[in-house]
Amino acid sequence: MNISTLQRSRYSYKPKMPGMLRKGISNIRAEEGEKVTSVSSDAEIRKLFPHTYGMREVTFSEGKSNAEKKKHVVGVILSGGQAPGGHNVIAGLYDALHEAGQDNVLLGFKGGPSGLTDDSYITLTGEIIDAYRNTGGFDMIGSGRTKLETEEQFRKVAEVAEKHEMTAIVIIGGDDSNTNAAVLAEYFKEHKVPVQVIGCPKTIDGDLKNDDIEASFGFDTATKTYSELIGNIMRDANSAKKYWHFIKLMGRSASHIALECSLQTHPNVCLISEEVEKNRMSLSQITDYIADSIIRRAALGMNFGVVVIPEGLIEFIPEMRKLIEELNDTLAEKGQQFAELSSWDEKTGFLSAELSPESMDVFDILPIDIQQQLLMDRDPHGNVQVSMIETEKLLATLVGRRLKELKAEGKYSGKFKSMSHFFGYEGRAAFPSNFDADYCYSLGYTAFLLIQNGYTGYMSIIRSLDEGVDKWTAGGMPITKMMNMERRGGAMKPVIRKALVDLDGGPFRYLEKHRDKWSSATCFRYPGAIQYYGPEELCDATTITLALEREARTGK
Q: Vertex 499, ends 253 and 308: CA angle to 5°?
A: 50
Strands 491-496 and 483-488: antiparallel
SS (H, E, C) 32-66: EEEECCCCCCHHHHHHHCCCCCCCEEEEEEECCCC
**DSSP structural state of residue 247:** E
Instruction: Strands of 295-356 (E only): list them.
Output: 305-310
CA–CA separation, 106 and 113 (whole Å): 16
The whole-number pLDDT of residue 345 equals: 92
Q: Which of 320, 422, 419, 446 is nearest to 371 (CA)?
A: 320
Q: What is the pTM of this model?
A: 0.95
- Residue 458 pairs with which residues in a beta bridge? 198, 478
Q: Which of 171, 399, 210 is nearest to 307 (CA)?
A: 399
Helix axes 506-520, 544-554, angle to 10 degrees: 120
pLDDT digits (tens, 9 = 90+) for 362-417: 999 999 999 998 988 776 656 677 778 899 999 999 999 999 999 999 999 999 99
pLDDT digits (tens, 9 = 90+) for 482-512: 999 998 767 899 999 999 999 999 999 999 9
Under a CB-based contact definition with an 8 Å cutoff, are residues 351 and 364 in contact?
no
The whole-number pLDDT of residue 25 equals: 94
The whole-number pLDDT of residue 491 equals: 84
Under a CB-based contact definition with an 8 Å cutoff, are residues 233 and 306 in contact?
yes
CA–CA separation, 542 and 545 (whole Å): 8
CA–CA separation, 321 and 501 (whole Å): 19
State the number of CA atoms in the 13 A half-sphere of 352 facing the CB. 7
Q: Which of 395, 217, 370 is nearest to 310 (CA)?
A: 395
The whole-number pLDDT of residue 36 equals: 97
Structural domains of the chain, ranges and CATH numbers in brackets: 71-218+432-488 (3.40.50.450), 219-311+390-427+499-556 (3.40.50.460), 315-389 (1.10.10.480)
CA–CA separation, 154 and 197 (whole Å): 12
The whole-number pLDDT of residue 332 equals: 85
CA distance to 30, 423, 458, 476, per residue, from 451 (Å): 11, 37, 9, 10
The whole-number pLDDT of residue 555 equals: 80
Q: Which of 407, 405, 473 is nearest to 439 (CA)?
A: 473
- Cα 317 versus chain centre, distance: 21
| Catalytic one of 95, 175, 176, 205 | 205
The whole-number pLDDT of residue 123 equals: 98
CA–CA separation, 251 and 258 (whole Å): 8
CA–CA separation, 98 and 507 (whole Å): 41
Q: Vertex 134, ends 129 and 137: CA angle to 5°?
A: 85
Give the long-range contacts of residues 351-356, CB within 8 A, separation 24 or more: 351/327, 354/326, 354/330, 355/323, 355/326, 355/327, 355/330, 356/322, 356/326
CA–CA separation, 190 and 136 (whole Å): 37
Residues of the chain with confidence (pLDDT) below 50: none
The whole-number pLDDT of residue 386 equals: 74
Listed in sequence order, the residues at least 6 apart from 43 whose beta carbon sits closer than 8 Å to its beta carbon are: none
SS3 447: helix
**DSSP structural state of residue 217:** B
CA–CA separation, 100 and 97 (whole Å): 5
* Terminal Cα-to-Cα distance of the chain (whole angstroms): 48
CA distance to 12, 82, 150, per residue, from 381 (Å): 44, 22, 17
Residue 139 catalytic? no
Q: Which of 162, 57, 76 is nearest to 115 (CA)?
A: 76
Listed in sequence order, the residues at least 6 apart from 450 whose beta carbon sits closer than 8 Å to its beta carbon are: 58, 196, 198, 458, 460, 476
Strands of the 168-173 sheet, one edge to the other: 28-35, 56-62, 473-478, 458-463, 196-201, 168-173, 73-78, 105-109, 121-123
The whole-number pLDDT of residue 388 equals: 81
CA–CA separation, 332 and 490 (whole Å): 13
